[in-house]
Amino acid sequence: MDGDEVPYLPRGVRLHHDKVRESWVLLAPERAIMLDQIGHAVLTELDGTRSFAEITAALAEKYDAPQEEIAKDSAGFLRALRDRRFLEVRE
Amino acid sequence: MNAQTPTVRPPIAMLAELTHRCPLSCPYCSNPVELARIDQEIDTATWKDVFRQAADLGVLQLHLSGGEPASRRDLEELVATAREAGLYTNLITSGIGLSERRLKALDEAGLDHIQLSLQGTTPEMADEIGGYNGGFKRKMQVAEWIGAIGFPLTLNAVLHRRNLHQLPRALELAVEMGARRIEVATVQFHGWALKNRDTLMPTMEQAREADRIVTEARARLRGTLVIDYVPADYHSDYPKRCMGGWGSTGLNVTPDGKVLPCHAAESIPHLSFDRVTERPLRDIWYKGAAFNAYRGTDWMQEPCKSCERKTVDFGGCRCQAMAIVGDPNATDPVCIKSPHHGALQAQAAAHSSSEGADLVYRVSPKKTAETIN
């Protein structure tokens, strides 16, 4: 994913707090994906206006970690979601 | 339960068969041959209570199905309640019975996703298979409305010997409609489909060609269209992990309120099923006899019992073992390790080369008890 792309969750894909399993899940057509802390942290940053670079910069500051590392880790996760059409991007 | 039985986890998905009524009469309908009548259907308040109980139990995905769920006039109200309870709501429909006005009402009610069935890619094929004139044209209109409102859409193409040649066009159609996903589902032989094996059984060549088309399309359409594929069952070497494992992932509620571990479970004669009107859903899931009958691996006999794949596919489909071998504890005969595998393959070859048989259409459920007696 390029730094200037704006990732967002399309209609029909949403975050849900699962009270029974005490976990955050991503609900999508025919899928419920249990999220770990990192996955949840990345997805809650998606607001449909900020670019991937802005999001990873924010996460780097919040978690006091190198932005490059965060970008690398979250790009793979977001790509997998994009391949399943659970994530869209705007230029 | 002993140490071999894993702890029972909460269910993730519930299939709510709201009604057995349907304007179509597809010869492979997965509803049981004995259909529930309209006067046996559970009422709006009961369904709402079931949805709330399901959410409390841990269900995340609710599939609203039938028959044709749009045949229920309270569909919009049921969707709204399910969403309020926190469930992801998926409508599984033929499109017949949905108007633009109803779709807008479903949008307001919070419906998350629509799965639209496809009986063929031409009016001639689709209307013959569905047994409903004008059905294809109407469905294409409904698909336009779905796109205009912006619902995420899955196209569910059911394929068999008569229409497998239309698979490439079905994939194109899904892209043209803006569907994010297509289910390429080769007919599974349960319920009404068992009566139609002579007309619907694909040939081995068709099954392999479909494998090839799907593999190629997945690479070509990556990021555009997600393809979920159910291959031809009788032509496989290993059985399907039915329902993700019996009583492990999902449950079904029938129009008259029976709770089943899978939609075909009533074909196993020794099982008895609890009803949502008589027992809490939580109790039925954790303690119900039908759910515990084939949970885990304790019930298995050889060759499953000592098989390294026993927790991969859980011995396959219990209903298929019942239907073909006559023993619901047997290994699914699709498995190459089953002593009945050779006979099943011979049967599949015979069905797939049989000519001239007519389609046996599903009949509509009777309206009241009186008309049956």
For an interface test with A, the pick among B226, B229, B281 (most A C-beta atoms closer than 10 Å) comes out as B226
ipTM: 0.94
The chain-wide mean pLDDT, for chain A, equals 94
Residue B34: the pLDDT is: 84
| Interchain contact A83–B (C-beta under 8 A) | yes
- CA atoms within 13 A of residue B295's CA, in its CB half-sphere: 26
Q: Which residues contact B335 (CB under 8 A, 6 or more apart)?
A: B237, B238, B239, B303, B313, B315, B316, B341
Hey, are the CB atoms on B86 and A16 less than 8 Å from each other?
yes
Residue B208: the pLDDT is: 95
Measured CA to CA in angstroms, residue B216 lies from B6, B49, B211, B224, B293 at distances of 38, 45, 9, 14, 40
* Helix H or strand E encompassing B142: helix B135-149
Q: Report residue A39: phi and psi, to 5°.
A: -55, -45
How confident is residue A91, by pLDDT bands cut at 50, 70 and 90? confident
* Cα distance between residue B215 and residue B160, in whole Å: 18
Residue B367: the pLDDT is: 63
Which residues of B76-138 form beta strands (DSSP E)? 88-93, 113-118
Please tell me which residue of chain A has the smallest CA distance to B225: A85
For an interface test with A, the pick among B89, B115, B116, B180 (most A C-beta atoms closer than 10 Å) comes out as B180
Q: Which residues contact B6 (CB under 8 A, 6 or more apart)?
A: B296
Which residue from B115, B151, B226 is facing A85, i.e. has the nearest CB? B226
Q: What is the pTM of this model?
A: 0.94
Hey, are the CB atoms on B10 and A12 less than 8 Å from each other?
no
CATH class of A6-90: mainly alpha
* Cα distance between residue A87 and residue B19, in whole Å: 34
Contacts of A30 in chain B (CB under 8 A): 61, 90, 154, 181, 228
Contacts of A31 in chain B (CB under 8 A): 61
pLDDT in single tens digits along all 373 residues of chain B: 444 445 899 999 999 999 999 999 999 998 988 888 999 999 999 999 999 999 999 999 999 999 999 999 999 999 999 999 999 999 999 999 999 999 999 999 999 999 999 999 999 999 999 999 999 999 999 999 999 999 999 999 999 999 999 999 999 999 999 999 999 999 999 889 989 999 999 999 999 999 999 999 999 999 999 999 999 888 889 999 888 899 999 999 999 999 999 999 999 999 999 999 999 999 999 999 999 999 999 999 999 999 999 999 999 999 999 999 999 999 999 999 999 999 999 999 999 988 878 899 988 776 654 443 3
How many contacts, defined by CB atoms under 8 Å, are there between A and B? 58
Contacts of B225 in chain A (CB under 8 A): 85
| Cβ neighbourhood burial of B346 (10 Å; 0-12, 13-18, 19+) | exposed
8-state DSSP, B185 = E
Residue B325: the pLDDT is: 93
Structure tokens at B230: 């159910």
Give the 3-state secondary structure of residue B291: helix
Residue B355: the pLDDT is: 83
Residue B205: the pLDDT is: 94
* Cα distance between residue A2 and residue B4, in whole Å: 48
Chain position carrying tokens 């159910």: B230
* Cα distance between residue A33 and residue B45, in whole Å: 31
Phi-psi category of residue B150: left, alpha or beta, with phi > 0 → left and psi -120 to 50 → alpha? left
Question: What residues 24-53 of chain A have any CB closer than 8 A to a CB of chain B?
Answer: 25, 27-32
Q: Contact at 8 Å (CB) between B167 and B210? A: yes
* Cα distance between residue A2 and residue B130, in whole Å: 47
Contacts of A84 in chain B (CB under 8 A): 226
* Cα distance between residue B95 and residue B252, in whole Å: 22
